[in-house]
Structure 1
Amino acid sequence: MPSDGIACNVVGAHDQLMHLRVASIFITLIGSSSGALFPVLAKRSPRLHVPKCLFDFAKYFGSGVIIATAFIHLLSPAISELSSPCLPSGWSDYPYAFALCLLSIFIIFIVEIVAFRWGTSKLKEVGKSHDAHGHNVGSHAAHGPESKVEQTSNLQKEVSIEKVESGQDHHYEHSLGDSATTQLIGVAILEFGVVLHSVLIGLTLAVNEGFKVLFIVIVFHQTFEGLGIGSRLAHLQLPAQLNWMPIAGAFLYGITTPIGIAIGLGIKGTYNPGSATASIVSGVLDALSSGILVYTGLVELFAHEFLFNQEMMESSNGKLAYAVGSMCLGCAIMALLGKWA
């Protein structure tokens, strides 16, 4: 039984600062969309002349943001929500937040295994070998690292042979298409976890009593997180017919928090974020989302961008320090924001 039934069942109208709460829909839309769309559009527009070092900063800074979000903004709240005194006593008998996070990690791991094995088998049918994460077509190196020069040389030889044999680059396009599938699966998994989180914090912002402080923090939070997801979208290497997907992914991220705020304002008279049902739903979704971002952060970002990336491992100490420092800065800022949100 809940230890404090009154606190768990009281629903506040939350009518304070109503004009600002409505305005927050549009302000967070601008912040989230700007953070996510800027890397994607800057990568495609040579007129902006964005230096490569700035792209690298956004990429690694965003990676740090994603990792901090997993632990500070998702797993920690999930633990609090699923240990709420409003929940039946059975919820305190087992660390459900950690268990759900663990379950999410294994589900994503299995999904990626199945997806990559399927993609590899499809390429074998047309007589090609394939790195599971599509690194043979110019992405970062992975499991069996090869240098960027070797990747380019092998790819050029492959394309030349195909053109001689068939008079066209159809097989290369097929390979690129399969690589695009694996890349899109990875980014879709990342975005799924981020989107769930964004809707929940939008809902929380709409009904929270301490609106002003939380609003300021969430605007920064969503902008930085958008920078993280946008930098991943910007570096996708897709065939021409799929070039719209990074923009669509950035736009989807941009609208999720405003949607959550709008839903929260619509149900503010009946929704109590401290109730047992709200705590269970929010805690379960936060725990599952944390597992997605933990897996993405440690496997896709730490391992593939650094440990298994031969170009990074053979780079100068300065470049490596710049990349690691950018990631640590993103992680530190997002972790600090966890003090207020």
Structure 2
Amino acid sequence: MHVLPDSFDMLWSNCLKENPWHKFPFSGFLAMLSAIATLMVDSLATSLYTKKCKAGVILDSSISVEGDREMQAAVNSGQHDHVHPHHLHHGGVLKAESGDNSQLLRYRVVAMVLELGIVVHSVVIGLSLGASNNTCSIKGLVAALCFHQMFEGMGLGGCILQAEYKLLKKALMVFFFSVTTPFGIALGMALSKTYKENSPNALITVGLLNASSAGLLIYMALVDLLAADFMGPRMQADIKLQIKSYVAVLLGAGGMSVMAKWA
């Protein structure tokens, strides 16, 4: 809510040269490129994960085919009494396991890409907070930041649980999410003497990073989180649940919009 407008304000600042910063909407352009790049990473990562696990699926399918051949041979030879019923279930089990594996891979890709976007965004907002010299706005900014990080953490935590990572990888992802904002704040405080919010270099750097984060987060929110849930079989089968979920989404968006006033 606040990242993309901040990027527009920074890259359209009067402190920057007229050419090229006031001649072209770099914020919107970079946000679009970031969303497309996120789509590419999302798609390629899903393909790579699928190829890595495809060998196991092929192995299971070969077992199923072998079982079907044995059953067919038994039928052709008239040995109906020796055909085991569990062979009939191999195909169904394979399809179910393949679908579960595909969904699990999707959850893992979403968790990794979302973690990347949140980490970049957290460093940027931490840097802005640490380098700020305006004591009047720091209190409101800290309060908004706490709520902001809490909701981001809840969303990321749900994705990590769905991905069913091992304990070590879960701990690493939680660790990086937890330390990036304090790291950004510490970095901003260390650079506060040399870092000037209105300097051209700072405006360009933070503005471009904000635009990149905005495109990534917009894509993740709409495509990998909201669309995946609302277009899922459970939601599509229950209209009342859809309406309740839409109300919850609108309330959440409204709450975040209010917090954007201080962010």
- Specify the TM-score bucket, using the shorter chain as the normaliser: 0.7 to 0.9
**Structure 1 residue 117: Cα displacement:** 3.1
**Match of 1:115?**
45
Question: Which protein has greater RCO, CA pairs closer than 8 Å, 6+ apart?
Answer: 1
Distance 1:123 1:200 in 2: 36
State the one-letter code of the partner of 2:212. Answer: L
Q: Alpha carbons of 1:336 and 1:266: their partners in 2 closer, same or farther (altered >3 Å)? A: same
Distance 2:103 2:230 in 1: 20
**Structure 1 residue 159: Cα displacement:** 8.6
SS of match in other structure, 2:195 = coil
Equivalent residue in structure 1 for 2:114, among 180, 186, 190: 190
Task: Work out whether 1:78 is the aligned partner of 2:10.
Answer: no
Equivalent residue in structure 1 for 2:198, among 263, 274, 294: 274
CA shift digits 1:160-192 (9 cap, x unpaired):
9xxxxxxxxxxx69x84x765543332221121
State the one-letter code of the partner of 1:211. Answer: I
**Structure 1 residue 280: Cα displacement:** 0.7
Q: Alpha carbons of 1:311 and 1:272: their partners in 2 closer, same or farther (altered >3 Å)? A: same
Gaps in structure 2 of 5+ consecutive residues: 59-88
**Match of 1:226?**
153
**Match of 1:62?**
none
**Structure 1 residue 216: Cα displacement:** 1.8
The answer to whether the 8 A contact 1:86-1:275 is kept is yes
Q: Alpha carbons of 1:279 and 1:155: their partners in 2 closer, same or farther (altered >3 Å)? A: farther
**Structure 1 residue 126: Cα displacement:** 4.9
Q: Alpha carbons of 1:268 and 1:243: their partners in 2 closer, same or farther (altered >3 Å)? A: same
The answer to whether the 8 A contact 1:233-1:250 is kept is no
Q: Alpha carbons of 1:244 and 1:329: their partners in 2 closer, same or farther (altered >3 Å)? A: farther
The answer to whether the 8 A contact 1:233-1:246 is kept is yes
The answer to whether the 8 A contact 1:104-1:291 is kept is yes
The answer to whether the 8 A contact 1:203-1:261 is kept is yes
**Match of 1:338?**
260
CA shift digits 1:295-314 (9 cap, x unpaired):
1111112221112x111110
Q: Alpha carbons of 1:252 and 1:120: their partners in 2 closer, same or farther (altered >3 Å)? A: closer
The answer to whether the 8 A contact 2:110-2:159 is kept is no
State the one-letter code of the partner of 1:113. Answer: S
Higher helix share: 2
**Match of 1:5?**
none
Q: Alpha carbons of 1:314 and 1:196: their partners in 2 closer, same or farther (altered >3 Å)? A: same
Distance 2:26 2:181 in 1: 26
Give 1:72-151 correspondences, 5 Å limit: 72-89=1-18, 90-126=20-56, 128=58
Structure 1 vs Structure 2 CA RMSD: 2.8
CA shift digits 1:278-325 (9 cap, x unpaired):
111111111111111111111112221112x111110251x2233222
Equivalent residue in structure 2 for 1:320, among 228, 242, 247: 242
Q: Alpha carbons of 1:79 and 1:312: their partners in 2 closer, same or farther (altered >3 Å)? A: same
**Match of 1:136?**
none
Distance 2:21 2:90 in 1: 55
**Match of 1:216?**
143
Distance 2:207 2:217 in 1: 15
Q: Alpha carbons of 1:222 and 1:113: their partners in 2 closer, same or farther (altered >3 Å)? A: closer
Q: Alpha carbons of 1:197 and 1:124: their partners in 2 closer, same or farther (altered >3 Å)? A: closer
Give 1:33-52 correspondences, 5 Å limit: none
The answer to whether the 8 A contact 1:236-1:246 is kept is no
